[in-house]
């Protein structure tokens, strides 16, 4: 009984420790990582982030004639590896953590990319932005085969060297 009273001077000395959260700013340090944000103007749709993402929160899907880079924040582990690996620095890490919502579809964010279609076989294979980027970066690239998909390009290049089989 008397032992319990020992806590009183400790409590008086410490005072109130409670963080009045909605009214008081939460502790967010410099290194805190929240949800990521994709800049649609910078993103070329190379898919490097989808390959590095450990829980596959970033995925790429082909829908008719668009490639969609889908970000599902509900599966994100906030590791920031996508921001490190992005060659265009299109992904930035924000300090946003108040993401709670009642509707799971609110947790998705999509970036829509225009897609290139092979004129020979009709296969969709790369985003238009990435193709333009490659043409501008690589010197002496054969422009006549750039519109073709990898399979058709191989065939066309071979035809150039050994001629058309009869």
Instruction: Identify whether the C-beta of residue 92 lies closer than 8 Å to the C-beta of residue 36.
Output: yes
Tokens coding 25: 């700013």
Least distance (Å) from another protein to the CB of residue 143? 23
Least distance (Å) from another protein to the CB of residue 23? 11
Neighbours of 25 (CB within 10 A): 7
Number of residues near another protein (by CB under 8 A): 44
DSSP state, 106? G
> Is residue 41 involved in binding another protein (CB under 8 A)?
yes
List 52, 75, 117, 145, residue binding another protein (CB under 8 A):
75
Q: Distance (Å, rounded) from C-alpha 116 to C-alpha 102?
A: 37
Closest CA to 71 of 39, 33, 114, 115: 39
> Is residue 51 involved in binding another protein (CB under 8 A)?
no
> Is residue 107 involved in binding another protein (CB under 8 A)?
yes
Residues 81-100 that bind another protein (CB under 8 A): 97-100
Instruction: Identify whether the C-beta of residue 46 lies closer than 8 Å to the C-beta of residue 40.
Output: no
Q: Distance (Å, rounded) from C-alpha 61 to C-alpha 113?
A: 10
List 77, 121, 135, 141, residue binding another protein (CB under 8 A):
77
List 113, 116, 125, 153, residue binding another protein (CB under 8 A):
113
| Site residues for another protein per CB under 8 A | 17-19, 21-22, 26, 35, 38, 40-41, 43-45, 54-57, 72-78, 97-114, 127, 129
């Amino acid at each position: 009984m008397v032992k319990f009273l020992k806590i009183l001077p400790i409590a008086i000395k410490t005072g109130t420790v409670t963080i009045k959260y909605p009214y008081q700013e939460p502790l967010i340090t410099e290194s805190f990582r929240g949800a990521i944000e994709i800049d649609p103007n910078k993103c070329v749709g190379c898919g490097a982030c989808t390959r590095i993402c450990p829980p596959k929160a970033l995925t790429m899907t082909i829908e008719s004639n668009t490639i969609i880079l889908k970000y599902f924040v509900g599966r994100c582990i906030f590791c920031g590896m996508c921001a490190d690996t992005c060659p265009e620095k299109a992904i930035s890490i924000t300090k946003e953590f108040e993401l709670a919502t009642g509707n799971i579809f609110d947790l998705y964010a999509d970036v829509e990319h225009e897609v290139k279609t092979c004129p020979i076989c009709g296969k969709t294979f790369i985003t238009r932005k990435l193709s333009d980027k490659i043409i501008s970066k690589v010197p002496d690239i054969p422009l006549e085969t750039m519109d073709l998909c990898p399979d058709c390009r191989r065939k066309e290049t071979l035809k150039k060297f050994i001629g058309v089989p009869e």
